[in-house]
Structure 1
């Protein structure tokens, strides 16, 4: 597939980028880095996520081949989610992005304060 230029509206990479770079997708893949987990286990790690938002996120990630959903034949029946090899390939760039946020948080906060100060003045 040729590389899309200018983020054209019909470029398939634009939709994929949107689906993997949103906050819940990145957090879910980070939580699942430690190993398979059930829905409620994932939800407990993501303060503020709603059941609906998490369900939608898990379905998107599964559809894109980044995680797999496995039914556990137990009583009651359970569902477990695990990162696929394709999903694992995102861990290095996600960890780099997270490291960048930690390393630059102070500078970003200073920029925010300065921006807000200019708006009030």
Structure 2
């Protein structure tokens, strides 16, 4: 029972760090604006998203052993994901930006977790 509580607590802590990375890197001003007909610019640049994805990848690699099950791994990213959806909720483009930003986020998170698992399983010196 103590191990289960520790795992849930660890997941909550990692989820908090993932959200904090997003909040610090991406900020809280997410309104898009139309500069000319059909051309939209986000207040959050792609460069900031790449930095966020890189930091999330580092977090995932570092914490992969602390999240032994995929259900915990998904739960650790869920608050960040919900926050992104919340920030994009008033967008004129509907769910398109959510897909554009969340698919790479989930991909980076998953690949980094798998990489973290792989790095810990390979034999020393090989």
TM-score (ref. length: structure 1): 0.29
TM-score (ref. length: structure 2): 0.29
Larger Rg: 1
